[in-house]
Amino acid sequence: MQTQGIRLILALGCVAFAAAACGHDTTGRSASAGAMQGIAELHQGDVAATLSQDPDALVALWTKDGVLLGEGDRPVVGQAALRAAYAQGGWKVLKYAPHIQDVAVEGDSAVEWGRFEVDFQTAGQPRTVELHGRFLRAMRRQSDGRWRFTRIMWQKDPP
């Protein structure tokens, strides 16, 4: 349960401040301010939902066909499977600090990579666990203009 909890916690990592500084499209030009603002809003929602651990808020960050590829886990495909995974709980997130290294925007799609730090406690365990790693995330602008995650892959740092 602890390993699965770690994987779900880490599936979400980004912060708005770094995205605004790093955004570009694949031709090297600055991404539109509108796209970067929308992605920054997704990042803010990611941090809030991860800290609250609200399954509905977490699922709202994803497209209907979203895929989570967590280290050592089978793919979690679609919002129903994501909601079921998030609802399992069993941990409390104490700190979540994603750090975006780069965002590449091409039209209504974007890809970003970064690093994360997360502190959490597993239910019934007094010890806080610290975890550091990296992620790669794909996003897509929806018809209502909001950005959502479509694919997330993450990995722990080596010891």
- 2-10 vs 79-87: helix axis angle to the nearest 10? 130
77 has which bridge partners? 67
The pLDDT of residue 103: 96
pLDDT in tens, 87-102: 998 889 999 999 999 9
pLDDT in tens, 99-151: 999 999 999 999 999 999 999 999 888 899 999 999 999 999 999 999 999 99
CATH of residue 26: 3.10.450.50
User: In which domain, by residue range, is 95 found?
Assistant: 2-156
For the chain, what percent of residues have pLDDT higher than 90? 70
Taking all residues of the chain, what is their mean pLDDT, rounded to a whole number? 85
CA distance 113 to 154: 10
User: Residue 149's closest CA among 96, 93, 77?
Assistant: 77
Number of domains within the chain: 1
Q: What is the DSSP letter of 114?
A: E
pTM above 0.85, yes or no: no
Name the band, by pLDDT with cuts 50, 70 and 90, for residue 22.
very low
CA distance 116 to 127: 20
- For residue 12, is pLDDT > 70? no
